[in-house]
Homo-oligomer: A and B are copies of this chain.
Amino acid sequence: MALTSETQTVEIALDERSYPILIGAGLLDHAASFDRAGAGSSALVVSNTTVAPLYAERLLRALQSRHASVRVLALPDGEQYKTWETLNLVFDDLLAHGADRKTVLYALGGGVVGDMTGFAAASYMRGVPFVQVPTTLLAQVDSSVGGKTAINHPLGKNMIGAFYQPQVVVCDLDVLKTLPPRELSAGLAEVIKYGPIADMAFLDWIEANVDALRACDRTALAHAVRRSCEIKAHVVGQDERESGLRAILNFGHTFGHAIEAGMGYGAWLHGEAVGAGMVMAAELSRELGRVDTAFVQRLTALIDRAGLPTRGAVIDPVDNAGRYLDLMRVDKKAEGGDIRFVVIDGPGRAAVCAAPDALVRQVIDRCT
């Protein structure tokens, strides 16, 4: 079956590791969506206990013409399970069923499933093909695109992983209908992110369409996913392994990771932590003289309208700012103990820079 004419494609250009992102309605049901997956005789769909009952059966049916043997493995659901122990369930399953180097892994789920399946694919027999089938807005606009895979360590988020690109990313907009409102809002945090760092016209558009997005309007979602993927593709195409530019995609994430780690993984959704983290990073940008108060207020208002927290969590009642600083010092962008912050360097433009601890403490105290 051919893909419908409404399917849109965004290309990630990385030489021999290039691949398309397909965006459209009902893609999950079409074998043609997975033409780029690889021709291995066996495949494993890795999902979680929430998503598998909703969509695994349909994906299996679409894949049966592609692979002689396809199975589903449902992992426990939640950021707190993004661990080596859970990852090992994938390796156990692959080895118990004699999976070989051509076995294709399909990640059917949100960011946690995508990150773990991608790292499993990068590491199993030193690399097997994999496909991203993101089922959350956050995964469709951000985590499934660009080849970052990882698991968490008790001392830091995404500390153990690989840069490993999928064969194709298949974003079925219809699956977003079953997403809980809280998760949809969390995804909007990563959509909003692309505005201040790269495209103020897109920020205007989000402001005009945030209600339609929260109502799951398919046309609005299609545009948000496509434009987000275009911006991400442009950045990743220039800096696959985050040696420079790519770090700007982590706007709000340095503060956000501290919230997630400080509260215990899973207490705040990643997108919620990024929402509050963007307010803190915008406030820091203002303190550094890069943007004005109106800009911070505008971004804060939009984050609020998206249904996201605009204040960071109190993660230590005695020395809250100190605890944030400790956790941020193990951020992957840190160098020699110096935290590197992504700041807005003027509307639509981001930069990475250091900041005095005292100033960062002020921002944390004001924003939590």
Question: Which chain A residues have a beta carbon within 8 Å of chain B's beta carbons?
Answer: 41-42, 84, 88, 91-92, 95-96, 98, 100-102, 122-127, 148-150, 153, 155-156, 159-163, 241-242, 329-330, 332, 334-337
Report whether B91 and A159 are in contact in the complex, using a CB–CB cutoff of 8 Å.
yes
Task: Name 8 A/B residue pairs within 8 A (Cβ), A-sorted.
Answer: A84-B88, A91-B160, A92-B153, A95-B153, A95-B155, A100-B334, A100-B335, A162-B162
Residue of B nearest to A332 (CB): B125
The answer, among B96, B102, B156, for a CB contact under 8 Å with A155, is: B96
Q: Which residues of B contact A149 (CB under 8 A)?
A: 126
Q: Which residues of B contact A125 (CB under 8 A)?
A: 159, 332
Q: Which residues of B contact A153 (CB under 8 A)?
A: 91-92, 95
The answer, among B42, B98, B162, B330, for a CB contact under 8 Å with A98, is: B330
State A230–B153 Cα separation when bound (angstroms).
39
Q: Which residues of B contact A98 (CB under 8 A)?
A: 329-330, 334, 337
Report whether A150 and B126 are in contact in the complex, using a CB–CB cutoff of 8 Å.
yes
Q: Which residues of B contact A92 (CB under 8 A)?
A: 153, 155
State A92–B153 Cα separation when bound (angstroms).
8
Q: A95-B159, A150-B126 are in contact. Are A100 and B41 (CB under 8 A)?
A: no
Report whether B95 and A330 are in contact in the complex, using a CB–CB cutoff of 8 Å.
yes
Report whether B163 and A148 are in contact in the complex, using a CB–CB cutoff of 8 Å.
no
Q: Which residues of B contact A102 (CB under 8 A)?
A: 335-336
The answer, among B100, B101, B148, B334, for a CB contact under 8 Å with A126, is: B148
Report whether A159 and B124 are in contact in the complex, using a CB–CB cutoff of 8 Å.
yes
Q: Of residues A84, A160, A242, which shows the largest number of chain B Cβ atoms within 10 Å of its Cβ?
A: A160
Shortest Cβ gap from A10 to chain B (Å):
23
Shortest Cβ gap from A326 to chain B (Å):
10
Report whether A123 and B329 are in contact in the complex, using a CB–CB cutoff of 8 Å.
no
- Other than the given A91-B159, A95-B153, 6 more pairs (CB < 8 A) read A100-B332, A100-B334, A123-B160, A123-B161, A125-B332, A127-B162
Q: Which residues of B contact A242 (CB under 8 A)?
A: 126
Shortest Cβ gap from A39 to chain B (Å):
11
User: What are the 3 A-B residue pairs with the smallest beta carbon separation, nearest first?
Assistant: A95-B155, A125-B332, A123-B160
Q: Which residues of B contact A91 (CB under 8 A)?
A: 153, 159-160
Residue of B nearest to A42 (CB): B336
Shortest Cβ gap from A53 to chain B (Å):
29
Report whether A123 and B162 are in contact in the complex, using a CB–CB cutoff of 8 Å.
yes
State A84–B335 Cα separation when bound (angstroms).
27
State A126–B162 Cα separation when bound (angstroms).
4
State A163–B162 Cα separation when bound (angstroms).
11
Shortest Cβ gap from A77 to chain B (Å):
23
State A227–B332 Cα separation when bound (angstroms).
40
Q: Which residues of B contact A329 (CB under 8 A)?
A: 98
Shortest Cβ gap from A257 to chain B (Å):
13
State A95–B155 Cα separation when bound (angstroms).
7
Shortest Cβ gap from A66 to chain B (Å):
15
Report whether A163 and B332 are in contact in the complex, using a CB–CB cutoff of 8 Å.
no
The answer, among B148, B162, B332, for a CB contact under 8 Å with A122, is: B162
